[in-house]
Amino acid sequence: MIPKLLAAVAVLLIHSVVLAQTRIGVHAGTNFSNVSWKQYSNKKSTKFLPGYQVGFTVTTPIKIYSRQLYIQPGISFSKKGFQQKL
């Protein structure tokens, strides 16, 4: 219990120090996915399926021995797939 509490306090202290330098970012784009394979020496054909991707990032500097290290966690969503002719 004590190590978790100390870790939470450390995170809050670090967060309050670097809050002014934190940057939030957004990224977006398109995907054109396709699949091809052979089954019993027959080539299967598919059509590409257009999709999209979107994500968010947070860039946070951390000071270690008078040097700055940047950490950039993020989350992304990407639509993928293909269309098969029957």
**Which pTM value belongs to this model?**
0.52
**Domain map (residue ranges) of the chain:** 21-84
The answer, yes or no, to whether residue 12 has pLDDT greater than 90, is no
Per-residue pLDDT tens digits for 26-50: 989 998 887 777 778 777 777 778 8
Query: CA-based angle 57:63:68, to the nearest 5?
Result: 70
Q: Which pLDDT does position 63 carry in this prediction?
A: 77
Distance separating alpha carbons of residues 48 and 82, to the nearest angstrom: 6
Q: Which pLDDT does position 5 carry in this prediction?
A: 72
